[in-house]
Amino acid sequence: MGKAFDIRLAQLAGAGVVASAPEAVERANQTAPNLTSGTFYLETFGCQMNEHDSEKVAGVLLSRGYKQVESVDSADVILYNTCSIREKAAQKVFSRLGEWRPVAVAAGLQTGNASPRASVPQAAANRQPIIGVLGCVAQQEGEEIFKRAPWVSLVCGSASYRKLPQLIAQLEAGHRRVTGLNTDTDETFETEITRRDNPWRAYLTIIEGCDKACSYCVVPFTRGPERSRTSDSILSEVRQLADAGYTEVQLLGQTVNSYADPSRKLRFSDLLVAVADVPGIRRVRFTTSHPRDFTKDIVDAINSVPAICEHVHLPVQSGSTKVLTAMART
Ligand code: SF4
């Protein structure tokens, strides 16, 4: 469901943020356009991966000087981080975008024939914020979104979130529309600053995308092929999290247990043990697992290390071989 993040900029230097702090902000400043005094509103639909992506998007924008606000009324940039797994979630996004039709009409934009809705806030109706679509609907629909909602000016998939400040800067410089839709990348998304919303439990993406091809699923198309993050990079972030006061880490991936360390140092089960071994970390969870890759060494790790929670999210999908075959579940 939609979720508005609150803004606590002071936490940029404190426990709510990883790699906190002045050095990280400084690093981000050196690689991105000039700092801004703009504001952004971010609403998230869908799964934990999307929620964590939004934490990273917020971190990227906060590090560029943007302030996060809780209402579209006061936002210069309005971002919807979308989900296309369930049709209802995708419909909700387009419904949300439809609320901006009256603003677009007032600005003289070509908006098609559908009737306008009156629910857009008055303050927002008097100006022209940048409206952007992120996430799976962005990746799946691409530039079609511009046709369906011509007042949208930014469409960006999850593999391109690091480019968001540059994309927004292009819009502010006068570009009408910008996209970041490349999934052909080995780059696993890592940001200098992640704006985490929970003070104790931290999500951490260790693998992006999916190489399976279940017949009903869009993830391989919207998130691209599997790319794992190095175990050194993951453990470094876990140590930072522990230093910042987090006690629980939840490792994320569409098929998290298909993790394949690019440096070939650790299997997934070894990684679980190594994360649990970081001083200060008391609980380790992971989601979502694929039955095919749920090997005995993972069970052994759960069994032998108390900090690895006895909690497994394992979507078996069906008990029928016929149905599983139709689903192309290997
Ligand atoms: S394994 Fe999961 S993410 Fe990958 S295609 Fe199948 S359902 Fe989708």
Ligand 1 atom closest to the Cα of residue 288 is 2
Minimal-distance CA residue to ligand 1 atom 6: 214
Euclidean distance between CA atoms 127 and 39, whole angstroms: 14
Residue with tokens 């511009």: 146
Please, which pLDDT band fits residue 4 given cuts at 50, 70 and 90?
A: very low
- Other residues' Cβ atoms within 10 Å of the Cβ of residue 74: 14
Please, which pLDDT band fits residue 155 given cuts at 50, 70 and 90?
A: very high
Ligand 1 centroid, distance to 230 Cα (angstroms) = 22
How large is the C-alpha radius of gyration of the chain?
20
DSSP 256: G
The CB of 254 under 6 Å from ligand 1? The reply is: yes
Model pTM? 0.76
DSSP 175: -
Ligand 1 centroid, distance to 212 Cα (angstroms) = 6
As given in the structure block, the two tokens for residue 228 are 């794992």
Terminal CA-CA length for the chain: 30
Minimal-distance CA residue to ligand 1 atom 8: 217
Euclidean distance between CA atoms 168 and 172, whole angstroms: 6
Ligand 1 centroid, distance to 216 Cα (angstroms) = 8
Q: Is the pLDDT of residue 3 over 60?
A: no
Report helix angle 231-243 to 268-276, nearest 10.
20
In the chain, which ranges are E strands? 39-44, 67-68, 77-82, 130-134, 154-156, 178-180, 201-205, 207-208, 227-228, 248-252, 283-287
Instruction: Give me the chain's average pLDDT, please.
Output: 82
- Give the pLDDT score at 184: 65
Q: What is the DSSP string of 105-171?
A: HHTT----SSPPPS-S-HHHHTS--EEEEEHHHHHHHTTHHHHH-TT--EEE-GGGGGGHHHHHHHH
Looking at per-residue confidence, does 320 or 199 come out higher?
A: 320
- Give the pLDDT score at 188: 54
